[in-house]
Structure 1
Amino acid sequence: MGTRPGRRALSRPGLGTPSVRAWLERLLRAGIFRRRLNREINGRDNDDCIDRRCRRFTAEKNSRTIDATDWSIAGHRSSACSQHQVREAAMIARKTARFLLKYASSDPLKLADIVHRRAIEQFRTPPTGLATTRFNGVHYEIDMSLHRLMKKYFFHTHEMFLERIFKRCLAPGNIFVDIGANCGYWSAYSLSLVGQSGEVHAFEPVPQYFTFVRRLAELNPGYRIVANQLACGARPGAFTMAVVAPRAENFDNYDINIGSSSLATGFLDHASELTENLTVEVIAFDSYARERKIDLDRVGLIKIDVEGFESEVFDGMQGVLAKSGRKVPILCEVLTDLNRPEPLDGRRIIERLEDCGYRCLDATHLRPIDRNALGFEENILCL
């Protein structure tokens, strides 16, 4: 894991209350943390791990000696083993923990900051209803009642391991393209980086989520954000999308959440009780870029998060992929599941991008992606 952050890093000003600092110190005992993450990455005894976490928390919560392995549910005041907490624990174990371990291998000091911010999210009470948060001078409005993810948006703890990519790729005057913007979190974050001399082009076809992208533009009139109620794909037309709408019974579900809507055939068939079909308009990004006269040399980053529809999006941006000279940086979530009726194969996407001259890096540790060891969900940075 490399040189790990120690107590000295945790003692600097601004790390919050003594109770939070003590909890962070326990969390960052690398031996415990590393062993726990390795167990989850290897997928061994996952259900038993969740049960042990719940039992340990129940036994220790009164003495407030929460073990480092319980960080995903630390700070909760209600029953430790309620259904939504177990779901959150499983999400942390399978997804975030794996990303954090890889991230820590390349930037262990930054990991301390990530853990600190995660603790703030857990210990502070978020607002209710409509709330506004800020990225520097950019105002971003969200509805806290939509889903538990809104709490992460409000406290700026959503996928923190990706922030350094945005900061490295985007500077004032750049263009950011957000394909699959959902509620506009990364559009707002990027708007603060490209500034008033830059541009953000955001694509979100679901009306309820597009509302927040449009609101982002309304709240920041001094910035240039182009909000498109469209999806990107291989060709223009109207297509059926499986949409996960916000529901009270799905508020705590991270596995199938408001960001899981997909145009990929059969992608959400296993969760049909949580979805509804919606006809959305699709455009090829190459056509959009020509119509808008987008200077590809100004594009600092294209982010693609389309839940299994990645291949179709790339089919519609072959001009971008084939561009000579400087390659347009792309940050893409790729999914791999060969056992589905409509298989998802991240390896083919990586091979396609490499054939176009891109270098594909694992977005967590910024080293070459191992295409033979892909998890279900991987974030790749293509340069």
Structure 2
Amino acid sequence: MKTANKIAIARALHYLVRSGRGVVGRPDIGKFSRRGVVYELDLSQGIDFAIYLGGMFERSTAVALAKLTEPSSLVLDIGANIGAHTLTLAGLVGPSGRVMAFEPTDFAFRKLRRNLDLNPSLASWVEAFHCFLTANDGDSVPNAVYSSWPLAAETGLHAKHLGRQMQTEFAQARSLDSILNERADRKVQLVKLDVDGYECDVLRGATSMLRNARPIFVMELAPYVLEERGASLDQLLSYFIPNGYAFYDERSQKRLPSAAKELQKLVADGESMNVIARAAR
């Protein structure tokens, strides 16, 4: 389903929920506990609202992460946004594990830090980085990145996925290999990667990790947003295939084509596909 269609459904549901909450004087913003995690949510935001509904935010990705994350491992959440998966990953790795969470926008990083503060036991296993991952430390950072999906019709939203760009004023440009060299105390076991077209930027700075650690990736493939960033599905695959990776459907676990031309046929314009990338051991 296209993201725009998902947002349309969420807008209709939000109208009903907001109306019901308004009757009893409850605002859109509040604290909510879901599956043992406390969040501060703004129900007028798409990601927040999906969390509020309980298990509705990227359900198949959450299931895949639960199956693939090893206790006591090092896991990366790249494109952490407000921490929807970050906090769950912290619970999966446990007190002997670590989660490194990366978010470039000031808007989402502030909300991520707030949700970590609301869960101090889980937060003690998480290190949050307000940075844009790219090829080299000190490279330029885009002025704004999509990280908000408002449930009210607004001007200036993305034509296809209806997201809003948010500022990155305080984000640093870092390479993932550089950060891992400084901060990692073990090999990366798993990476959740969802950066709305900036995947190739991230991977340009992660060649050492791909070559040596070869972690499992749980990621979103959206060719149309790759193209908007001047990249391509073929370029994205060039980081994986030479390192022995194969792609699998996130839900069915079915092996997917390794050629960009064949893989792109499976994803319509304006849509995305959630996949697992795993290297042969």
Q: Is TM > 0.5 for Structure 1 vs Structure 2?
A: yes
User: Following TM superposition, by how much is the alpha carbon of 1:330 offset from its aligned partner in structure 2, in angstroms?
Assistant: 1.1
Aligned residues: 252
- Residue among 214, 218, 221 paired with 1:334: 221
With over 3 angstroms needed to count, the CA separation of the structure-2 counterparts of 1:338 and 1:293, relative to structure 1, is: closer
User: 1:110-147 CA distances to partner (integer Å, 9 max, x unpaired)?
Assistant: xxxxxxxxxx99986676212222333x32322223x1
- In 2, the alpha carbon distance for the partners of 1:279 and 1:240 equals 11
- Residue among 137, 145, 150 paired with 1:236: 137
With over 3 angstroms needed to count, the CA separation of the structure-2 counterparts of 1:361 and 1:216, relative to structure 1, is: same
SS at match of 1:321: helix
Checking the alignment, whether the CA contact within 8 Å between 2:31 and 2:38 is kept in structure 1 is no
Could you tell me which residue of structure 1 aligns to residue 248 of structure 2? 361
With over 3 angstroms needed to count, the CA separation of the structure-2 counterparts of 1:301 and 1:250, relative to structure 1, is: farther
- For residues 128-207 of structure 1, the aligned pairs below 5 Å read 128-136=28-36, 138-145=37-44, 147-154=45-52, 155-207=54-106
- Residue among 158, 166, 181 paired with 1:290: 181
With over 3 angstroms needed to count, the CA separation of the structure-2 counterparts of 1:302 and 1:197, relative to structure 1, is: same
- In 2, the alpha carbon distance for the partners of 1:288 and 1:303 equals 16
With over 3 angstroms needed to count, the CA separation of the structure-2 counterparts of 1:368 and 1:219, relative to structure 1, is: same
- For residues 1-383 of structure 1, the aligned pairs below 5 Å read 88=5, 128-136=28-36, 138-145=37-44, 147-154=45-52, 155-223=54-122, 224-237=125-138, 238-244=140-146, 248-250=152-154, 255-258=161-164, 261=165, 278=169, 280-296=171-187, 299-323=188-212, 327-337=214-224, 343-370=230-257, 371=260, 372=262, 373-375=265-267, 376=269, 377-383=272-278
| Structure with greater proportional strand content | 2
SS at match of 1:205: coil
Residue identity matched to 1:256: L
- In 1, the alpha carbon distance for the partners of 2:79 and 2:31 equals 22
Checking the alignment, whether the CA contact within 8 Å between 1:179 and 1:306 is kept in structure 2 is yes
- In 1, the alpha carbon distance for the partners of 2:141 and 2:200 equals 16
Structure with more relative contact order (C-alpha pairs < 8 Å, separation 6 or more): 2
Residue identity matched to 1:382: A
Could you tell me which residue of structure 2 aligns to residue 66 of structure 1? none
Structure 1 unaligned segments of length 5 or more: list them: 1-39, 42-86, 93-119, 262-274
Q: Structure 2 length as normaliser, TM-score?
A: 0.76
Checking the alignment, whether the CA contact within 8 Å between 1:354 and 1:360 is kept in structure 2 is no
Checking the alignment, whether the CA contact within 8 Å between 1:140 and 1:188 is kept in structure 2 is no
- In 2, the alpha carbon distance for the partners of 1:288 and 1:197 equals 20
Q: Structure 1 length as normaliser, TM-score?
A: 0.57
Residue identity matched to 1:308: G
SS at match of 2:212: coil
| Structure with greater proportional helix content | 1
With over 3 angstroms needed to count, the CA separation of the structure-2 counterparts of 1:207 and 1:382, relative to structure 1, is: same
Aligned residues: percent identity? 23
SS at match of 1:295: coil
- In 2, the alpha carbon distance for the partners of 1:339 and 1:221 equals 36
With over 3 angstroms needed to count, the CA separation of the structure-2 counterparts of 1:279 and 1:328, relative to structure 1, is: same
- In 2, the alpha carbon distance for the partners of 1:331 and 1:363 equals 8
Checking the alignment, whether the CA contact within 8 Å between 1:250 and 1:257 is kept in structure 2 is no
- Superposition RMSD on alpha carbons, in Å? 3.4
- In 2, the alpha carbon distance for the partners of 1:209 and 1:353 equals 29
User: Following TM superposition, by how much is the alpha carbon of 1:314 offset from its aligned partner in structure 2, in angstroms?
Assistant: 0.6
Residue identity matched to 1:209: A
Structure ID, larger Rg:
1
- In 2, the alpha carbon distance for the partners of 1:350 and 1:369 equals 12
User: Following TM superposition, by how much is the alpha carbon of 1:222 offset from its aligned partner in structure 2, in angstroms?
Assistant: 2.0
- In 1, the alpha carbon distance for the partners of 2:225 and 2:43 equals 36
Greater shift after overlay, 341-350 or 359-368?
A: 341-350
